[in-house]
Each structure stands twice: as C-alpha cells, then as structure tokens.
Amino acid sequence: MLAFNSTASNWPTFSFIGIPGLEAAHIWISIPFCVLYLIALVGNALLLILVTAEQNLHEPQFYFLAVLALTDLGLSLSTMPSVLAVFWFDARHVGLDACLTQMFFIHTLSSVESGIPVAMAFDHLVAICAPLNYNRIVTHSTVACLSGAALGRGATLLAPLPFFLRTFPFCGANILSHSYCYYPDVLNLACGDVSFSSAYGLVFVLCTFAVDVVFILGSYMKILGTIMKLEIQDRNWRSLHTCACHLCTVLVFYLPLISLAMLHCYTQDTSPILYTTMSNAYLLMTPLLNPLVYSLKSQPIQAALHKQFWVQRVTAGE
C-alpha cells in the first residue's frame, strides 16, 4: 500500500519516527505491536465471518457490528505497513502521494468509526424507547443507509484535504511525529499560510466527531431516562448494562483522539514518547477492543462462536 521511498526529487519526502530514544530496541518493541495487530485482525475478521455465516445474526444490530468490524480491519491495515516497516526495517521515508493516501484512509475510516456508534445508539434507542415500532423503523435498508451515510460523510469532507496539502511547499527535515501520516502533523510541516486548511480541518472535526458525540450522549441519556421511568421490576438492567459497555468502548476511541488533538494544538515541547504512545493508542486500541467487548457482551455472538468451533471439532473427531 505504501511506497516508502520518494522517486521524484521535486516532491517532498517525509520521515516517520518509531519510539524516540529506543531505536536499538525497535525489533523487540515490534513484538507486542505484532501481537496486538494480529488480535485486532483475527478478532474483527472472525466477527465478520460469524455475522455472514450465522442466520441468527442476520439482524440490524449485528449488521452494524459487521460494518464496525470491517472499518476496524481497514483502519488496522492502513497503519500496520508503516508502523511495522519502521520497527522491522527502519524504513522511515515516505513520498508525498503515499503519505496523503494513507492520511485519507486513516481519517476517513476514523470518521466511519465515529459514525457507526451513532447508528448503533439509534438502534438501541428505538429498541428500548419504541420496541413495538422497531421492526418497522430499523430495517436492512436503514442499516445500509446509515452505514453509507457514515462513509460518504467522511470521504466527502476529507477529500479536499489532500489537495490542500499538495498546494503547499514543504521545507525543513519533514519529520513526522508518528509512525503514520496524520493530517495536523503533515500540516505543521507545510510552509506558507495554512490558516484556511487548518480551519477546514477544524470544520471536519466539528462536523464529524463533535456531532457524533452529541448524538451518542443524547441517545443514551434518552435511553437512561426511559429505563429509569419504569418500575423497578420492569427495568431492563441487561440493556442498561449493554449500553454502558458500548459507552465505555466509545470512550476508548474518543479519549485518545481528543488527547492527541490537544497535544498537537495546545502543547509545545511535549515528549515525543508521549506523542507516540497517544497516536498508537488512538488507532490501535479501538480495533483491538471492539470485537472483544461486543462479542463478550453478546450472547448470540457467543452462541454462534461456540456453534462454529463445536461443530468443526465434532466433525473433525468423527
């Protein structure tokens, strides 16, 4: 996916960093990264396979999980080549076009990663607040429309950013603060007036992540209010527990994202190790935790997983 060397001298070349000060140990540091990437890839791929193969999982809530798993796979595969290339081969250089391509996929998929929990919150809201109308409101077409809207929003809003960056000259060492191309990081290396591009990046964040947070919090507050209005014996504590787990997963995605944005915008002379830690947590922890959290808290997925492995084991034994 990535070309780690620039072939045209008139185009800038950017340099990734690994773990500053621990370059000699990069090969050992790569081991836990490989394990985490492997768990994320296998977990999300397995979730996709289960939803596809099991008839019992052909429901809107599981389709949303499948879309989220597909997004997690894409996000992991977008960053894995450059991260592991730095650790394994000390391949730190990337051309402008390859950098902008990686940046486009990372930010677009991050936007989808933020939008799908909004759709899932809507699914939970209808299921709890309007259960009699659930099958009429949340259909397969609804899943397709909401998922397509999340992807279209991210791709449409992000599409101008690579073109903006191509208009700027880049001067200096062009050393990035991460092991992948991140828009604010690349923009900081551009020479000239970048105020418009910076403002558009802020608009992108407000139209995606900020709006999503408002909708997610609003949906779960409405769900909580609906459950609390019921008599104690009628309250669906299991649904409340599931919603709490989903909120925790959303926080795992947003907290590193917000922290990383704050480090870029409002801090100076911050330790490079802190940048690296936050950037890896931002793009690695969510694909790693999503399949674990949603699978462990979903009995239908656990039953499908047990059925698949049990059937294969019995068949192999025969």
> Over the chain, what is the mean pLDDT?
84
- Does 5 fall in a domain? no
What is the per-residue pLDDT across 5-47, written as a single tens digit (0 to 9) for each? 433 334 789 999 888 777 888 899 899 999 999 999 999 999 9
Q: What is the pLDDT confidence band of residue 184, given thresholds at 50, 70 and 90?
A: confident
- Does 219 fall in a domain? yes
- Does 223 fall in a domain? yes
**Is the confidence at residue 85, as pLDDT, over 70?**
yes
- Does 6 fall in a domain? no
Domain of residue 45, residue span: 24-300
Tokens 């068949």 — which residue?
A: 315
**Distance (Å, whole) CA 186 – CA 254:** 21
Identify the pLDDT of residue 316: 53
Identify the pLDDT of residue 267: 57
- Does 182 fall in a domain? yes
Backbone angles phi, psi at 194, to 5 degrees: -110, 20
Is the separation of the CB atoms in 91 and 4 below 8 Å?
Answer: yes
CATH number for the domain that contains residue 54: 1.20.1070.10
Is the separation of the CB atoms in 65 and 249 below 8 Å?
Answer: no
- Does 314 fall in a domain? no
- Does 313 fall in a domain? no
Q: The dihedral of CA 237, 239, 245, 248: what is its sign?
A: negative
Identify the pLDDT of residue 178: 82
**Distance (Å, whole) CA 255 – CA 239:** 24
Identify the pLDDT of residue 270: 65
Total domains present in the chain: 1
> Mean pLDDT over residues 213-226, rounded?
89
